[in-house]
Amino acid sequence: MDLTQENKMLREKLDNAQRIIRGLQTVDIVARIIAVLRVTLQQARVIAVLLRREQVSKIGMSIEIYGRDTGEYRIFDVNICRIRKIIKPHRIHIITIYGYGWKIIPSDKDKLNELLNV
């Protein structure tokens, strides 16, 4: 095996390891969100996606949660509405990007991370 092939193989192994680590971190943060905010698993996963990404489209949320675009976005609207009620006392806001999706501004992400002790 030449150096180019070995380098490619090592990069693939590193990418796989990083995916596994991100997956474990996501599981950890979702569990923390459930424990602290007392939300459902689905709601915790939505919050985790919003924390991880600058903004997320409805299609992007579907792919993040279900692994594919289901075309069923109303459930996210309902979950976002319920999540907003839960985080409102902490002065954390989810902003709707009309015709696209949602985001949490960086200062509110900081508040949420502080609340979660992340």
CATH number of residue 57's parent domain: 1.10.10.10
Q: What is the pTM of this model?
A: 0.77
Q: How many domains does the chain have?
A: 1
- CA–CA distance, 1 with 92 (Å, rounded to integer): 54
Contact 64, 46 (CB under 8 A): no
Range of 22's domain? 3-116
Cα distances from 86 to residues 27, 41, 83, 105, in angstroms, run 21, 14, 5, 17
Q: Give me the pLDDT at residue 22, please.
A: 62
Nearest to 40 by CA among 85, 89, 74, 71: 85
Binned at pLDDT 50, 70 and 90, residue 23 comes out as low
User: Which single residue is written with the structure tokens 């902003």?
Assistant: 95
Tell me the three state secondary structure of residue 22: helix
Sign of CA dihedral 103, 107, 110, 115: negative
- Could you report the per-residue pLDDT of 55-89, keeping only the tens digit for each? 999 999 999 899 899 999 999 999 999 999 999 99
